[in-house]
Amino acid sequence: MPALTIPQITARLARQSPVLSAAKVAVKSRAMVACIVRPGPQPQDPAEMLLIRRAAREGDPWSGQTAFPGGRCDVEDAACDFTTACREVREELGVDLTNRKHYRYLGRVSDMETFKSRRVNMVIGCFVYEQLAPQAFTLAVEEVAACGWVPLTAIACAREEDVKEVKWSIPRDTSMYWYLHLLGLMELTLPSLVVCLRDATKIRPEVAVDALSLWGMTLCFSEMLTMDPSTGLTPYRSLPIIGCKIPHMFNSALHDMVYTLYVAAWRKALTRHASGVVLWYLPFLHCLCAAAAAGAAGIGYLAIRSKL
C-alpha cells in the first residue's frame, strides 16, 4: 500500500457518507473527539495523526489510555457536536481548531454507539482536521500526560502478526453480566496495535510514549480513516488439532467458533468496525444446545423403553 497522504485522506473522506447516530441520549451521553493529521516530515512520508496519552487518575476507567483528544458534550455546547470537539481540544491541548490559519476541517467519520440493556448508552463522533502549521501544545495536566504523532500507515499497513490482544472485562452493569460470569466468559478479547508517539509533548520527562496500546474506539476510528471498509484488524486463535484460525473473542475456543459462524451467517455488517461484541447470541446458542441435549435424552429414553 502506498503512503497515505493528506490529499488521499481528504479524498477518502469525501467519498464516504458518514452515518450519524439518531439515538436520543442525554447531553452527557454524547462525546466528540478530533483526529488531527499533518503531512509527514518528508514529501514521500505518510501523513501522521495526533494521539494523546491520558493522565493517570484514580477511579478513571480510561486512565493512561491512548486516545484522540476529546470528551463529553456539555450543555454550553448548545447540542453542537462541532463545538464540543473544538472546546475539548482547546481545554486538553490549548489549541483552537477554528483558527483557519492553523487548522483545516477535512470531514467526519461515522458515529459509534455503545449499548446497555439493548439500548444506546453512549454516542461517540469523530471529526478530522489537518494541521496547516506547526503549533506548540499546552497540555491540561489533570487530563493529558503526553501527546505525539503516529504515521497513518502504522494502522493501514498493519499485518496480522502486528495485532495484539487486549482483555476487556465485561462491566458489572451489563444486563448479561451474571449469566456470562456463570459461563466463565468474564472477558472479551479486542485487537490492539503497539504505537510510539513521535515529537511528543509531555507533562513530565519520565512519561512513557513508547510501546503504547492503541485499541477500542480510537483504533476503530483510525481504521475507518485509513483502511478499506471490508477489512479490519482482528486477533486470531488456532483451533487445536484442526489447526484453522478463527477470530479470538472469548475465553472459550468453542464460543469463538460458534460466534464466527453466527457472525458470518447473520451479523456480517456489525463486524466491520464494531467496538464491542454482540453478546445476545449466547442465550440463543445455549438454549439451542439445551434443547438438543433434551431431545437427545428423550430419544434415548424412548429407545431404552422400547427394548424393555
CA trace torsion 155, 156, 160, 166 (10° rounding): 30
Q: Of 70, 73, 78, 3, whose CA–CA distance to 39 is shortest?
A: 3
Q: What domains appear along the chain, each with residue ranges and CATH number?
A: 6-234 (3.90.79.10)
Per-residue confidence (pLDDT) for residue 275, from 0 to 100: 39
Going residue by residue through the chain, which has 308 residues, state the pLDDT in tens, using 9 for 90 and above.
456 899 999 999 999 888 888 887 787 789 999 999 999 888 788 999 999 999 988 877 778 999 999 999 999 998 899 999 999 999 999 999 999 999 999 999 999 988 776 678 889 999 999 999 999 999 999 999 999 999 999 998 888 888 888 888 777 766 667 777 777 777 778 889 999 999 999 999 999 999 999 998 999 899 989 887 666 778 888 776 666 787 787 777 777 777 777 666 655 544 443 434 455 566 767 787 888 889 889 888 888 888 76
Q: Which three cell numbers stand for residue 11?
A: 479524498
User: What's the pLDDT at 301?
Assistant: 81
Query: How confident is the model at residue 28, as a pLDDT?
Result: 77
pLDDT for the residue 45: 86
User: Residue 235's pLDDT is what?
Assistant: 81
Q: What is the pLDDT of residue 240?
A: 67
Chain Cα centroid distance, residue 93 = 22
Report the alpha-carbon distance of residue 82 to residue 105 in Å, rounded: 10
User: Are the C-beta atoms of residues 46 and 139 closer than 8 Å to each other?
Assistant: no
pTM strictly above 0.85: no
Q: Residues 224, 229, 232, 238: what is their CA dihedral angle, to the nearest 10 degrees? A: 170
How far is 55 from 207, CA to CA, in rounded Å? 10
pLDDT at 276: 43
Asked whether 109 and 77 are in contact (CB, 8 A), the reply is no
Helix 253-266 to helix 281-307 angle (10° resolution) is 110
pLDDT of residue 148: 97
Alpha helices by DSSP H, listed for 16-148, are 81-93
Bridge-based pairing of strands 119-131 and 30-38 is parallel
Q: What sign does the CA torsion over 75, 78, 84, 88 have?
A: negative
Cβ atoms of 32 and 85 closer than 8 Å: yes
